[in-house]
Amino acid sequence: MNKLWGLLLFSGFSQATNANTEATAQICDASPQTRAWQPLPGIAAKSMDIEADNVEVIGTQSAQFSGDVVINSPLMTLTAQSALIDKIQGLLDARGPITFEDNQSVITSSGLNANLGENSINLHGAEYRLTQQQGRGYAEKLAINENELNLFNGSFTTCPADSETWSIHASKIRLSQEEGWGETYGAVLKVYDTPLLYIPYFTYPINDKRKSGFLAPNIGSSDRYGLETKTPYYWNIAPNYDATITPRYMSNIGLQLQTEFRYLTEQHQGLIALEYLKKDDSEPTLDDRYLFHWQQSSKLSDNWRGMIDVTNISDDNYLTDLNSNYANKTDTQLYRTGLLTHLGERWQTDIKVQNFEVLGDHLSSYSAYPQISFNQTQAYQWQNINFTVDGELSHFKNNDLKKANNADKNVAKIYEATRLHIEPKAQYLYQDYAWSFLSELSLMQTNYQQKGDLTENGYQFDETVNRTLPKLRLYGQINFERDTDWLVEDGLQTLTPQLQYLYVPDKNQDNIGFYDTTRLQDDFFGLFRDKRYSGVDRIARANQFTLGATTRIFSNKNEELFNLSVGQIFYLSNEAKPSEQTAALIASEGSYNALFAGEAMLHWHRRWYLSSGVQYDTEGKQFIQSHVTLDYKGDDQQLVQVNHRFANDVSGNKIEQMGMFTSVPINQNWHFIASYHRDLETNRSVELLTGLQYESCCWAFQITGHRQIETDLNQSISGLNEQTAVFDSGIRFNFVFKGLGGKDSYDANKLLQQGIFNYRRPYFLNN
């Protein structure tokens, strides 16, 4: 029988296009039904293309189609056995079996009637499947209106048909693509077809749009907390404001309230968090325990920027006892700062107030109220010489030292100081493709006004100090490259020798206190710095050469396969070597002379990475620091990392630790992770973390167990061993029906972030 074709002009259906979503996970068996619907090519807007075996025209306004009817419009495709179209009233009536497809669903039913003028469609005895996200079900009646699906006496699940672990059956289910949420009325949650829970009303997400409601709970158990549960409630206050309120119950400690408020305006973005525990059952001598955190960045105008980062806690052991998302439980100090920056055409000015709260049984540090620094971003030029001026004005206070004036007389009580530092600089820079040369001449002028008890162990700190020091720096490098076949065919090797000369005359600075100065890292890149300390309370004498070189090997695809950097400082006289006393006072570390530093990376296979670094005192014949890391990154989230780190002197203690991370997919559904760290110096384990994840197409769970050492800020790490150390052991469990508030996909590697030592992936140029 010949096919009959017709073209009728009608108003089209109005439906919004859904946001793009991630591809269906491999664990959900993809089938031809999951293909995205596409309109018939070439079909005009507000028109229908109808194909049928037979057509009967009724008058001039209606038509009856029968036999393999296919109706296409720009917004849907309908197949049926018969269809009646009334052009005057804008009605469509079809009989089945019927298949309806649009850009968000595929529906089969026994019958369909639609009001084309009102853009509404009703299907009876319908089975549906969502195509923009996981979801399917059935309904006695299914109504499509604008961007909504309304199911009456229907069901919803994200499970495949042959493995329906859970489903929701309700008198009414409303799925709104525009709002991004589903609503159910009179719902029953069934697990393996067994009624488990009756819920009169609840909502759940069907895309990434936000809505107020409870998030997936978190359940765990540990020696410290006992049974622990978290039940977050998300409050979508406005498009640019939201909050999360989380009651946290710990059977050994009590009930804690955790809150986070986020905001985004035209000028500001940030968050404010408050954690509060009225009574700690494990610490009955303590009062209320709390944490406050405020973080904000602001663009006040084209020239002004602002930043706030403040964390405050009720007691020193809050983080070690209760943990928090806003600070690490191993932190030994809290950093608080407020910064206002002006960006001018030639100058940048920073106005900063900052404070460090040292945790544990230690004297508090100095606060800067304020610290005004300025630096010249656009130099004055004369005869190819750049002239700049940088400087700062700082006022430091330490009220705890002021109160302790009658305490230990061996500790200086400089409780207040004002510092003015100005550093004009002349710089000549020549750069070429093959080589570059830099010469700098600076004059460092610093003035101090110090108040307090100015005597410490026989040393006298002066009330007024004027210090003037010149600094000369000469730096040059040459760039070589050649073809190479080592490690790779048609590769490229580069070699960059570097040479620096640095001179700063010796000057007695024992009459100056220490306010914001600390020792900088002595790695390879640190060898070529022009200073040894972060602040200007001590300016290290120098009369030294630094010699170093870096070589790299690249593939013909510009992937870095190997690099090696080595360098060493050579002092021209014994008097030019760093002062051991100054280094010890500032950083509680020794003074290392003839410092050698090296770093290397080998990427000999696309899955394997080896990186290492070392710092060595060639005069004292001892290692200062070293680290080595071996990484394997396979397909399908496979990873293994083994690492070793050593430090000869950290606050008077030697540290040597070895660690391991692993993440291994067992099969398509199961994933295993583990990490282990051991302190070789004290011969004790530090942390053991292991986890297992199962993920199917419609549900998932994660279970992790840990055993980690408890931090005691008031106890030295020396003298502890496996028998005397205190450990916390626990287990944590997460479960979610996918599509009911949990994320549709899981990253098992994120479980490795729960430990004290977080996994960090290696970073190289080819990443």
Of 210, 275, 204, nearest to 242 by C-alpha is 210
pLDDT band with cut points at 50, 70 and 90 for residue 757: low
The β-bridge partners of 46 are none
Q: Residue 739 above 90 pLDDT?
A: no
- Phi, psi (degrees; rounded to nearest 5) at 70: -125, 120
Rounded distance between C-alpha atoms, residue 98 and residue 127, angstroms: 10
Dihedral of alpha carbons 709, 711, 714, 718, sign: positive
319 or 753, which is more confident: 319
Rounded distance between C-alpha atoms, residue 394 and residue 515, angstroms: 10
DSSP 8-state secondary structure symbol assigned to residue 682: T
The β-bridge partners of 391 are 374, 422
Q: Which amino acid is at 360?
A: G
The β-bridge partners of 418 are 395, 449
Q: Residue 719 above 50 pLDDT?
A: no
Place of tokens 């949420």: 181
- H helix intervals, 7-121: none
3-state secondary structure of 635: coil
pLDDT tens-digit series, residues 321-361: 888 888 877 777 888 999 999 999 999 999 999 988 878 76
pLDDT band with cut points at 50, 70 and 90 for residue 166: confident
746 or 215, which is more confident: 215
Radius of gyration of the chain (CA): 35
Rounded distance between C-alpha atoms, residue 228 and residue 221, angstroms: 6
CB neighbours of residue 599 within 10 Å: 19
Round the average pLDDT of the chain to a whole number and report it: 82
Q: Residue 723 above 60 pLDDT?
A: no
- Phi, psi (degrees; rounded to nearest 5) at 621: 55, 50
Q: Which amino acid is at 39?
A: P
Of 328, 241, 262, nearest to 291 by C-alpha is 328
Rounded distance between C-alpha atoms, residue 53 and residue 599, angstroms: 77
User: What percent of the chain has pLDDT above 70?
Assistant: 83
> What is the separation, in whole angstroms, between the first and last Cα of the chain?
62
Of 135, 117, 233, 236, nearest to 176 by C-alpha is 135
* 63-71, Cβ contacts within 8 angstroms, sequence gap of 24 or more: 63/6, 63/8, 65/6, 67/1, 69/94
Helix (H) / strand (E) containing 80: strand 76-86
pTM beyond 0.85: no
Rounded distance between C-alpha atoms, residue 638 and residue 608, angstroms: 12
Q: Residue 222 above 90 pLDDT?
A: no
Rounded distance between C-alpha atoms, residue 9 and residue 11, angstroms: 7
Please give the structure tokens belonging to residue 262.
């986020």
Of 259, 236, 316, nearest to 283 by C-alpha is 316
Cβ-contact 522, 615 below 8 angstroms: yes
Rounded distance between C-alpha atoms, residue 42 and residue 661, angstroms: 55
| Secondary-structure percent of the chain, ordered helix, strand, coil, rounded to 5 | 5, 60, 35
Q: Residue 207 above 90 pLDDT?
A: no
Rounded distance between C-alpha atoms, residue 201 and residue 184, angstroms: 6
Arithmetic mean of pLDDT, 280-293: 91
Per-residue burial over 79-115, b if 16 or more Cβ lie within 10 Å, else e, is: bbbbbbbebeeeebebbbebebbbbbbbbbbebbebe
Q: Residue 4 above 80 pLDDT?
A: no
Mean pLDDT lowest among 76-85, 409-418, 419-428 = 409-418
Q: Residue 553 above 90 pLDDT?
A: yes
Arithmetic mean of pLDDT, 402-408: 56
Arithmetic mean of pLDDT, 8-15: 27
* 632-636, Cβ contacts within 8 angstroms, sequence gap of 24 or more: 632/607, 632/608, 633/607, 633/609, 633/761, 634/607, 636/665
pLDDT band with cut points at 50, 70 and 90 for residue 442: very high
Rounded distance between C-alpha atoms, residue 186 and residue 184, angstroms: 7
565 or 710, which is more confident: 565
Mean pLDDT lowest among 85-89, 190-194, 350-354, 567-571 = 85-89
Predicted local confidence at residue 22, as pLDDT: 41
Please give the structure tokens belonging to residue 297.
């960045």
Predicted local confidence at residue 199, as pLDDT: 85
